[in-house]
Amino acid sequence: MSRNVISTLACMSALLVPLLLSISVNAAPREQPSIDCRKAASVSEKTICANAELSRLDCQLGRTWERLLLAFDIDPVQQPQMRKDQRAWIARRQECGKDANCIGKLYRDRLSTLNGGEPAHRFSGVYEVKDIGFFALYPIGHRYLVHIQSADPRDGRWECDLNGEAESSGDDLQVSVEQSVFHAHLQDAETLVVANDDSVQAAAMKFCGLNGTFAFSYLRVRPNP
pLDDT tens column, 78-116: 999 999 999 999 999 999 999 999 999 999 999 999 999
- Backbone CA torsion sign across 166, 203, 195, 18: negative
- Given a cut of 50, is residue 195 above it in pLDDT? yes
pLDDT tens column, 44-71: 888 988 999 999 999 999 999 999 999 9
pLDDT of residue 154: 87
Sequence-ordered list of residues with C-beta below 8 angstroms from that of 50, at least 6 positions apart, any chain: none
pLDDT of residue 160: 96
Give the burial class of 100: count Cβ atoms within 10 A of its Cβ; 0-12 exposed, 13-18 middle, 19 or more buried: middle
Please answer whether residues 11 and 59 qualify as being in contact, where contact means their C-beta atoms are separated by less than 8 angstroms: yes
- Residues of the chain with pLDDT > 90: what percent? 70
Q: Quickly state the pLDDT bin for 224 (edges 50, 70, 90).
A: low
DSSP element (H, E) containing 12: helix 9-12
The count of domains in the chain is: 2
pLDDT of residue 31: 55
Backbone dihedral region of 170: left (phi > 0), alpha (psi from -120 to 50 degrees) or beta?
Answer: left
Backbone dihedral region of 42: left (phi > 0), alpha (psi from -120 to 50 degrees) or beta?
Answer: beta
pLDDT of residue 46: 85
Residue 225 maps to a domain: no
Of residues 81, 87, 76, the one with CA closest to residue 7: 87
Q: Quickly state the pLDDT bin for 37 (edges 50, 70, 90).
A: confident
- Given a cut of 50, is residue 19 above it in pLDDT? no
107, 136: one domain: no
Domain assignment of residue 19, given as a range: 9-114
As a whole number of angstroms, the distance between CA 74 and CA 9 comes to 21
Residue 86 maps to a domain: yes
As a whole number of angstroms, the distance between CA 114 and CA 189 comes to 13
Residue 4 maps to a domain: no
182, 146: one domain: yes
110, 126: one domain: no
Lowest mean pLDDT among 3-17, 62-76, 107-121, 134-148: 3-17
